[in-house]
Structure 1
Amino acid sequence: MSTLGSFIWSIADQLRGPYRPNQYGNVILPFTILRRLDCILEPDRDTVRELASKYDNPNRLKVEVSKATGRPFYNTSNYSFANLLADADGLADNLTDYVDRFSADVDVFEYFDFKKEILALEKAGLLREIVKAFRAVDLHPDNVSNSDMGDAFEYIIRKFNEAANETSGDHYTPRDAIRLLVDLLFAEKDAALTEAGIVRTLYDPTAGTGGMLSLAEEHLLAQNPDARLGLYGQEYNPQSYAICKSDLLAKGHDATNIAFGNTLTDDAFKGRQFDFCMSNPPYGVDWKQYAKAITKERDEAGPYGRFAPGLPATSDGQMLFLLHLAHKIRAPEDGGGRVGIVMNGSPLFNGGAESGPSNIRQWLLKKDLVDAIVALPTNMFFNTGIGTYIWILDNTKRPDRKGLVQLIDGASCWTKMRKSLGSKNRELSEADRARVAQLYADFTDADPDYSKVLTNNDFGYWTITVERPLLNETGNPILDRKGNPKPDSKKRDTENVPFTYGGSTAGEAGMVDVIQAYFDTEVKPHVPDAWIDWTKTKTGYEIPFTRQFYKYVPPRPLAEIDADLEKQVAKILDLLREVEQ
């Protein structure tokens, strides 16, 4: 994963004893951030100190520092890694002074409670050795690229989580998966993104350590070095937030664009919309503790609120982020926007007709927002082997994609890794990503084993309730006051009728005719006394991805199976004879 990350983590060996393994990250992560910023600041440290002596106002000082160095942040302390070790007795106080004198936008060390860790290290007699070890690591961007730095952070966090034995639904997105997501996210806009001086915005509501934001920017700048991509994100994990913010600070981005907090209960960018949105939300994590606030927001916001289409089960909040992003993309009249989100399989089909998840899918499809869904290989993530899918949403589809959804089975597009990393033993090579991207660009059914293009109506269905009469002891139907047969609840059944049954293209408008045709053909011949209770008919939407790519494999001939069994029996008998002898 990261040679640098492995080296930095090795520094944690010095913490053994006073610190437990699950506490190493509390020291290693903030020190890595501090050393990274220290290396960036070092060339202009004297200039900044001179400016600090002239300007007392922090806002004026920030402006002057930006003019002189081109950086949006600074540190006015007389200390740095270059001279901290010169005063052995004052090391803890001097290091604290160094941390305190960053500009106000560098609040990242507060989220580690770093000053408390400094005192704990001093008390344990470890502070000098840790400072000395990090001083020996040159983390200047000229020597350690932003990509390598991101890999190092994610390696350290993964090791930290392994030591803490964490099994939450937070799955750090591997770089190869992010690159495919970025390829697909920008696919329809690549031509426009090459315009000189173009300015676009990208938003991640589950920013983590900032990997998605960084790789998206890298992708855009590779195409157009003059482009500007404003990066925005929100993260609720304190350590991940601190890493993300410090990483973007180091690259010269506006630090106020990265917010701390829970996106679902406190949208830090309320009212803002973006050109591109991307996310890898937690899987299978319940939102019961937020249910009251989210339900209240839905009720008060009305039909145009972000959660108006429906709410998923409180056992899994993935689809809340899906809805959130659908409401954060720029309006079509302002140029439109696209979303890329990684989720597991449940949002494709969970919940029956008129349940929260079904209503969310219905809203997305009727709004014609779903552009493509791509199945990723299993064993792609570090701490889970489950199947995952990339959803691409677009509110300004090009004409030939309107009203259609492309399903791409990329589950077989992978390369075996030389060394497994946790559950991850497969990766998407550049060729694998190019294969999926080409399938998306071709937008055809010509290769049905890997790509299907379906209409939005292909995912709709009605759940109908089929009743049969309640019989009395003589075998005759029991009638109600109006002379109609009473239904027997024990014989009650439900059937799912596709919108497209019988080749119908009418969608929801064809409900009566399509259901009646289905009933007359599929039900009535088998149970002549049955009828439909139309009052119980429900409309549902699901995306049966696996069913679309299902390949029938006929069972082996019985003679072949019998032959294999006889061989195995013969082997067993031979072994028994050897034992008897």
Structure 2
Amino acid sequence: MASSLNYSQFIWNVADVLRGTYKQHQYGDIILPFTVLYRLDAVLEPTKDAVLTAISGYDADAEVPLAMLRSRAKHEYSFYNSSKHTLSSIKGDADTLEQNLRSYINSFSPNVRDIFEKYKFEDTIAELAEHDLLFQVVQHYSKINLHPDNVSNEEMGNIFEELIRKFAEASNETAGEHFTPREVIELMVTLLLTDEEDLMRPNITRDVYDPTAGTGGMLSVADEKIKKFNDTAQVNLLGQEINPASYAICKADMVVKGQAIENIALGNTLTNPAFENRTFHYGLSNPPFGVDWKGAKATVEAEHKIAGFTGRFGAGLPRVSDGSLLFLQHLISKLREPSSGAKQGVADTGGRGAIVLNGSPLFTGGAGSGESNIRKWVLDNDYLEAIIGLPTDMFYNTGISTYIWMLNKSKKVERRNKVQLIDATEMFEKMRKSVGSKRKRLSEDHIKEIAQLFKAFESADDKRSKVFAREEFMYRTITVERPLRQNFAFTQERVEILLASRDLAKLKLDDTVASALRAALEQRVVEAGGVVETDRLEFEKQLREVFDSAGAIVKPAALKKLADELSARDETADPVVKAGKPVADSTLRDTENVPWDEDIHEYLEREVKPFVPDAWIDESKTKEGAEIPFTRHFYEYVPPRSLEEIDRDLNEVLGRIRERLEGLGK
């Protein structure tokens, strides 16, 4: 039997027929749906006659009950085709090929017809026919046998994955939008399955979920690896994808693998999540990097405000420019809680997740921001197990730094309340030929090495792996206040500021009173002779006398504001006091980030008061925060070279230049 690689190469060779008429990046839009079509035709072949007999009494466009097909036609699938034709019979008449192929496509049950609609496959058929290529393509496919007896579901899945990979590479300018590099997925799944104690139980069931499924690569790799661990495992793959073309590829891949066809949903995970009442053993996701969520804003904000922590976004909302942390919260909400679904005295462990994010979710947003609140919620609930920093230039559509967040709802005892950081940024091999922005890849040895670091945890004697108490990523932001110190004076400059102020304009003085007030103030400037007053109450009394002499009526609250217009900050003055407490000077206000395990008042005494003895903390403004400064924890200071060493090198270079010039002169 030919290998799956040989099958995929043979199928891809239909590109020889397409070349010249179609561009390379268009091949997959033809090859992938045709491959699905021929697989489904082969799968349905054994029960074809029985199904046609069973549905003979139904209208052509009626949806046939699957329960009836299963009982009458011994039909085991969740889809069917009601056409009297097969692809073999259609091929026999070139003149009616286009018409019959269209009819055959439209005879699938709605759940499969949906795949071909998203592929816009009828347009493809029409275009191939227009260029006299349809018969050649059908002839090419008729030379392979994709019947399950000849190609198992596992082999068919491998074939389709290889075709998806070829398609992604052929259209590398957009591949990263729906395609995660295979080795990155391999690493994520490997880490998910590390120390999964129950995985070897016979006939175990595992549900794997991807809320940003793309073309289904993560689901496929998870399926493959779980079955390598335990070939008796029943693996259910479920996902949701917003892009119709990627959705069609993913759904088709799941169908050819024998997965339940309803397990792949089309739609926006943030606004219209599928599988609302389900949670999963494993969650995998590579959400779009740095993409805004303006379109989902109304729905997401409503869920945040109304549902709170009973919904997905109770912890907080990030800024609208980047929805990464919304996907993180969603993924956590879909992981099983510990001991859910216990059967026969064996309790299931909590769900595990792996999500790829850029650097922004690690640190963007200060204490009290949506991003910080989300990070703190993740840490408070002890969901975060590890973060792995990947090399740059790993993805097809971006060269930025990326990180894998490992999530776990039932950590082992030794991992509880701790977070492991693994620096894998220097673990890569350069690719001979870049694909889009992807210039580096992880080798199998790199994946094994990272997995070993992850498994070793605290025992890892390696600078690339560090373990922290979760509190080390938390802090409190305190607001440090200093007293307002002012002096007051009747000077020409300050009086002009007062006369032009909004506070004075609010009194709405008539022209006569306003003129009298100006004259009284200017007279007071002369009398005061620039003398400064530091007693606020005394100065307000003097200012009251000025207003009274001009016949201007002013209330006490307004008088205080008018006095401020005649003030200046004065470090030698006594603090301004209100209700027995010093008034804070907003221009001197500062903030300090205090480590979580430190008393804020002790911090103030040690770090602030030696420099500003009159400072105090406004505890009403204290905020809790969390950030994960990944790079800082692996930064190693390299001192600059000495001046002597630099001079020596420069003199050596200059010496070589002189020798060269002298040689040219000869």
If the TM-score is normalised by the length of the shorter chain, which range does it land in?
A: 0.7 to 0.9
Is 1:343 the equivalent of 2:357? yes
* CA displacement at 1:155 relative to structure 2: 2.7
**Corresponding residue to 1:30 among 33, 40, 51:** 33
- The 8 Å contact of residues 73 and 249 in structure 1, kept in 2 or not, is answered as no
Is 1:273 the equivalent of 2:279? yes
Q: Distance in 2 between matches of 1:493 and 1:578?
A: 65
The aligned residue for residue 215 of structure 1 is 221
- The 8 Å contact of residues 65 and 74 in structure 1, kept in 2 or not, is answered as no
Is 1:202 the equivalent of 2:208? yes
Residue identity matched to 2:352: R
**Corresponding residue to 1:355 among 369, 387, 391:** 369
**Corresponding residue to 2:443 among 421, 424, 429:** 429
In structure 1, the residue corresponding to 2:88 is in which secondary structure? coil
Is 1:467 the equivalent of 2:481? yes
**Corresponding residue to 1:184 among 171, 186, 191:** 191
In structure 2, the residue corresponding to 1:89 is in which secondary structure? helix
Q: Distance in 2 between matches of 1:576 and 1:411?
A: 44
Q: How does 1:141-180 map to 2 (within 5 A)?
A: 142=150, 145-160=156-171, 162=172, 165-166=173-174, 170=177, 172-180=179-187
Residue identity matched to 1:429: S
The aligned residue for residue 605 of structure 2 is 520
The aligned residue for residue 120 of structure 1 is 127
**Corresponding residue to 2:650 among 565, 572, 580:** 565
* CA displacement at 1:127 relative to structure 2: 2.6
- The 8 Å contact of residues 577 and 583 in structure 2, kept in 1 or not, is answered as no
Q: Distance in 2 between matches of 1:436 and 1:166?
A: 29
Q: Distance in 1 between matches of 2:366 and 2:73?
A: 56
Cα shift readout 1:422-460 (whole Å, capped 9, x = no counterpart): 333333233222222222222215425122221121111
Residue identity matched to 1:547: R
Residue identity matched to 2:604: F
Q: Distance in 2 between matches of 1:36 and 1:5?
A: 13
The aligned residue for residue 492 of structure 1 is 589
The aligned residue for residue 552 of structure 2 is none
* CA displacement at 1:19 relative to structure 2: 5.4
TM-score, normalised via structure 1 length? 0.87
In structure 2, the residue corresponding to 1:82 is in which secondary structure? helix
Residue identity matched to 1:87: D
- The 8 Å contact of residues 379 and 470 in structure 2, kept in 1 or not, is answered as yes
Q: Which has the larger radius of gyration?
A: 2
The aligned residue for residue 507 of structure 2 is none
* CA displacement at 1:134 relative to structure 2: 4.0
**Corresponding residue to 1:390 among 404, 413, 416:** 404
Pick closer, same or farther for the CA change 1:490–1:579 going to 2, 3 Å. farther
In structure 2, the residue corresponding to 1:434 is in which secondary structure? helix
* CA displacement at 1:486 relative to structure 2: 4.6
Residue identity matched to 1:182: V
- The 8 Å contact of residues 279 and 341 in structure 1, kept in 2 or not, is answered as yes
- The 8 Å contact of residues 32 and 163 in structure 2, kept in 1 or not, is answered as no
Residue identity matched to 1:372: A
Residue identity matched to 1:147: N
* CA displacement at 1:382 relative to structure 2: 2.2
Residue identity matched to 1:383: N
Is 1:407 the equivalent of 2:445? no
The aligned residue for residue 537 of structure 1 is 622
* CA displacement at 1:26 relative to structure 2: 3.8
Pick closer, same or farther for the CA change 1:155–1:253 going to 2, 3 Å. same
Is 1:111 the equivalent of 2:196? no
Residue identity matched to 2:632: R
Q: How does 1:319-334 map to 2 (within 5 A)?
A: 319-334=325-340
Q: Distance in 2 between matches of 1:340 and 1:398?
A: 17
- The 8 Å contact of residues 413 and 435 in structure 1, kept in 2 or not, is answered as no
Residue identity matched to 1:422: G
* CA displacement at 1:390 relative to structure 2: 1.5
In structure 1, the residue corresponding to 2:374 is in which secondary structure? helix
The aligned residue for residue 450 of structure 1 is 464
Q: Distance in 2 between matches of 1:222 and 1:427?
A: 23
Q: Distance in 1 between matches of 2:584 and 2:658?
A: 60
- The 8 Å contact of residues 372 and 407 in structure 1, kept in 2 or not, is answered as yes
Cα shift readout 1:519-540 (whole Å, capped 9, x = no counterpart): 2222222333433333322110
Q: How does 1:235-314 map to 2 (within 5 A)?
A: 235-314=241-320
* CA displacement at 1:150 relative to structure 2: 0.8
- The 8 Å contact of residues 480 and 615 in structure 2, kept in 1 or not, is answered as yes
* CA displacement at 1:401 relative to structure 2: 1.5
- The 8 Å contact of residues 6 and 156 in structure 1, kept in 2 or not, is answered as no
The aligned residue for residue 102 of structure 1 is 108
Q: Distance in 1 between matches of 2:602 and 2:6?
A: 65
In structure 2, the residue corresponding to 1:105 is in which secondary structure? helix
The aligned residue for residue 521 of structure 2 is none
Pick closer, same or farther for the CA change 1:567–1:491 going to 2, 3 Å. farther
Q: Which moved more, 1:491-500 or 1:452-461?
A: 491-500
* CA displacement at 1:139 relative to structure 2: 5.5
* CA displacement at 1:517 relative to structure 2: 1.9
Cα shift readout 1:197-232 (whole Å, capped 9, x = no counterpart): 212211111111111111111111112111112221
The aligned residue for residue 453 of structure 2 is 439
- The 8 Å contact of residues 169 and 435 in structure 2, kept in 1 or not, is answered as no
Pick closer, same or farther for the CA change 1:291–1:10 going to 2, 3 Å. farther
Q: Distance in 2 between matches of 1:396 and 1:474?
A: 59
Q: Distance in 1 between matches of 2:23 and 2:446?
A: 41
* CA displacement at 1:3 relative to structure 2: 8.3
Cα shift readout 1:137-170 (whole Å, capped 9, x = no counterpart): 665675654224213213313433x4xx549x73
Q: Which moved more, 1:348-357 or 1:442-451?
A: 442-451
* CA displacement at 1:310 relative to structure 2: 0.4
Q: Distance in 1 between matches of 2:465 and 2:73?
A: 50
Cα shift readout 1:229-274 (whole Å, capped 9, x = no counterpart): 2221111111111111121112222111111111110111112111
* CA displacement at 1:322 relative to structure 2: 0.7
- The 8 Å contact of residues 171 and 383 in structure 1, kept in 2 or not, is answered as no
Q: Which runs of 5+ in 1 are unaligned?
A: 502-513
Q: Distance in 2 between matches of 1:74 and 1:477?
A: 89
* CA displacement at 1:570 relative to structure 2: 5.0
RMSD, aligned CA: 2.9
- The 8 Å contact of residues 171 and 381 in structure 1, kept in 2 or not, is answered as no
Cα shift readout 1:284-341 (whole Å, capped 9, x = no counterpart): 1111111111111222213321101001111111111110111111122413211111
Q: Distance in 1 between matches of 2:202 and 2:10?
A: 41
Q: Distance in 2 between matches of 1:355 and 1:3?
A: 54
Residue identity matched to 1:170: E
The aligned residue for residue 505 of structure 1 is none
The aligned residue for residue 138 of structure 2 is 131
Identity %: 47
Residue identity matched to 2:242: Y
* CA displacement at 1:420 relative to structure 2: 3.3
- The 8 Å contact of residues 178 and 215 in structure 2, kept in 1 or not, is answered as no
Pick closer, same or farther for the CA change 1:32–1:393 going to 2, 3 Å. same
Is 1:365 the equivalent of 2:379? yes
Q: Which moved more, 1:356-365 or 1:118-127?
A: 118-127
